[in-house]
Each structure stands twice: as C-alpha cells, then as structure tokens.
C-alpha cells in the first residue's frame, strides 16, 4: 500500500509543483493575465497538438491490440460522458455544463494513467497503456469539443456549427493527422521529430502554470460546490461504475488494473486550455483539476487496494 502511495505521489507531485509555481509567479508579478491568455492560446493551438501528434505517432497501434478491451473502454467512456451530461443538466447551471461534463469524464491518462500503468505492469502496461492513450485522445477531444461547443457563450449550436467546431479543433486535427503516420509507420526526419518534441514539451508546464495563475481563494469558493460535484463524479462514481462493469464482463489481472487506472485518473490539464479557448468558465475547470489531482492520491490507491485484496488484479 505504501509503495502504491509513493508511486502515485511521484506522478502527481510534479503536477502540484507546477500549479504552485503558477500561483507564485502571479503573486510575484512575473506573469500577468495577458501572459496567461497568450500562453493558453499557444498551448491549445500549438504545443498540445504537437504533443498529441507525437503521442499517436510513437504508439505501436499493432501491439497490445485487444479489440474487446478497446471496445469496452470506448463504450465506458461514452457512457460516463452521457451520465455526467445528464447529471449536469439536472444539477448544474446552464453556462457551466460544458466545463462540468468535461471535467467529470476527461482523465489525465497521458500523464498519470500511463505512468502508473507502466510503473505497475512494466512493458505490458506501457504497450497496452500507449494503445489506450491513442484511443483516449481521440474520444476525449471529440466529446469535449462537442459539449463545450453546445454550452460555450461564443459558439453557435446548430449541427453544422458544432461539426465545424469539432473538426476544426486543433487537438482533434492533430490526432487525425497522426493516425495515418502511425498506422502505416511513415517515417519523418529525425530533426523534425526532435524539434517538434522540444516544442511539445512546453505543453504541460505552460498549461499548469496558467492554471495556477488563475487560481484564487475567491474563485475556488465561487466554484466550490460545482467543482466538488464534478470531482466526485470523476474520481469516485464513474471509475467505480466503469471498473465494476469491466469486472462483470470478466476482465482480470493487468487488463482490469490498467482499465481502473485510466478510469481513475484525475482531470486532464487540457480541459482548462479548451475551456479558456472557447470562452467558458475556465476558473471552474482549474478548480476541478486541482481537486481531482488531490483526490487521486487517496482514491487511486484505495481502488487498487480493493482490487488486489479481491485477487482481481
């Protein structure tokens, strides 16, 4: 149990460090609102698409392909998205529903989920987790673009406008562009991959610094109840239901463990960037990221303890 807690902290602690750095830099006056706006736009339009492109490009789509597991994960993700959306319609203010839904279903699988899967299951965890990450990127970004377009104050809600919003999303475009290169193993020049890697590596630090810079006690108080509701949905209810469904269908061992880790990952930092890009309540998005990352240290370890105690993983 202690080893699992240390592994989780090793992944989440750097996230907290960058969040607090953003708070500190804002307090010191080294960055301001103009910087946050510019940096968030750069992440959304440039560095994060580059990161996603490389993640898909480097994933071995022919390895660890388990159609039954991938189909279940996709269906569970869509089911969790619809459940969070239904709950938001009932309990959440109209203007915040898109941010609520995105925060409640979109996990940080590329950082937290993949790191824990690799740590616990070695090469198999890295291989299966990498394939799942490619699927996750496409599902999360398409569904997030849809729900944010529906509730964004600056977006039109007719079907054509929503379709354009999804297909014109830089993150979705990056994934679609990378799939043929990954599937057919089309080589790219080493210098191009290296330069793109340098550019992409700015994504997480910049996004987390911007999140930290927007955090304040006032904004946390204002979004407290809504952020807590979304965080409980993300870290307890949806992982429990999805993992129970996987267990009922017969998944066991590393497959069940990796599915749980991906379902139980805290909300992705990209949710803040997307919310800010479409003019939604990015302060609520930031609060959800902070709360779910805090919860992950306890909930991830507790969930793994239960699964190990039952002899299922």
Q: What is the pLDDT of residue 134?
A: 73
Domain 2-308 carries which CATH code? 1.20.1530.20
**Could you count the other beta carbons within 10 Å of the beta carbon of residue 43?**
30
Residue 34 has pLDDT above 70, yes or no: yes
In this prediction, what percent of the chain has a pLDDT beyond 90? 48
- Mean pLDDT taken over the chain: 87
Instruction: Give domain limits for the chain.
Output: 2-308
Q: What is the mean pLDDT of residues 248-260?
A: 94
Global confidence as pTM:
0.84
Query: In the beta sheet, which residues pair with residue 107?
Result: 267
pLDDT (0 to 100) of residue 96: 94
pLDDT digits (tens, 9 = 90+) for 43-53: 999 998 898 88
Confidence of residue 60 (pLDDT cuts 50, 70, 90): low
Q: Cα(184)–Cα(62) distance, rounded to whole angstroms?
A: 10
Q: Is the predicted pLDDT of residue 114 greater than 80, yes or no?
A: no
**Residue-level pLDDT at 135:** 82
Q: Higher confidence at residue 160 or residue 2?
A: 160
The more confident residue out of 308 and 131 is 308
- Going by pLDDT thresholds of 50, 70 and 90, the confidence category of residue 194 is very high
Nearest CA to 291 out of 100, 43, 55, 49 is that of: 100
What angle (nearest 5°) sits at the alpha carbon of residue 267, between those of residues 265 and 268?
A: 100
Task: Read off the pLDDT band of 220 (50, 70, 90).
Answer: confident
Position 157 scores a pLDDT of 60
The Cα–Cα gap between 293 and 77 comes to 19
pLDDT of amino acid 27: 92
* Range 6-10 contact pairs with CB under 8 angstroms and sequence separation of 24 or more: 7/116, 7/119, 7/120, 8/116, 8/296, 8/297, 8/300, 8/301, 9/297, 10/119
> Among the listed ranges 126-135, 165-174, 177-186, which one has the minimum average pLDDT value?
126-135
Cα→Cα distances 172→19, 37, 134, Å: 26, 21, 12
Which range has the worst mean pLDDT, 55-64, 127-136, 188-197? Answer: 55-64
**Among 154-158, 175-179, 229-233, 239-243, which stretch is predicted with the lowest mean pLDDT?**
154-158
- The 3-state secondary structure of 8-60 reads HHHHHHHHHHHHHHHHHHHHHCCCCHHHHHHHHHHHHHHHHHHHHHHHHHHCC
Q: Which residue has the higher pLDDT, 63 or 91?
A: 91
Higher local confidence (pLDDT), 218 or 13: 13
pLDDT tier for residue 4 given thresholds of 50, 70 and 90:
low
Residue 145 confidence (pLDDT) above 60: yes
């Amino acid at each position: 149990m202690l080893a699992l807690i240390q592994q989780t902290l090793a992944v989440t602690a750097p996230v907290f460090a960058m969040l607090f750095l953003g708070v500190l830099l804002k307090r010191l006056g080294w960055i301001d609102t103009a910087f946050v706006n510019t940096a968030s736009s750069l992440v959304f339009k440039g560095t994060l698409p580059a990161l996603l492109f490389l993640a898909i490009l480097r994933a071995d789509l022919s390895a660890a392909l388990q159609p039954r597991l991938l189909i279940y994960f996709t269906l569970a993700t869509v089911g969790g998205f619809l459940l969070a959306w239904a709950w938001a319609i009932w309990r959440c203010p109209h203007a915040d529903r898109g941010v609520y839904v995105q925060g409640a279903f979109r996990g940080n699988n590329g950082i937290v989920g993949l790191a824990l899967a690799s740590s616990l299951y070695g090469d198999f965890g890295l291989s299966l987790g990498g394939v799942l990450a490619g699927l996750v990127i496409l599902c999360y970004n398409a569904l997030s673009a849809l729900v944010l377009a529906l509730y964004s104050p600056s977006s039109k809600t007719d079907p054509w406008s929503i379709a354009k919003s999804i297909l014109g999303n830089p993150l979705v475009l990056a994934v679609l562009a990378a799939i043929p290169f990954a599937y057919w193993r089309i080589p790219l020049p080493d210098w191009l991959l290296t330069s793109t890697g340098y550019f992409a590596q700015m994504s997480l630090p910049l996004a987390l610094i911007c999140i930290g810079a927007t955090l304040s006690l006032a904004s946390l108080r204002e979004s407290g109840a809504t952020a807590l509701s979304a965080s409980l949905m993300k870290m307890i209810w949806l992982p429990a239901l999805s993992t129970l469904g996987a267990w009922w269908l017969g998944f066991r061992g590393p497959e069940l463990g990796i599915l749980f880790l991906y379902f139980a990952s805290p909300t992705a930092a990209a949710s803040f960037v997307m919310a800010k890009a479409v003019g939604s309540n990015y302060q609520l998005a930031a609060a959800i990221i902070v709360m779910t990352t805090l919860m992950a240290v306890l909930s991830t370890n507790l969930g793994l303890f239960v699964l190990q105690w039952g002899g299922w993983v």
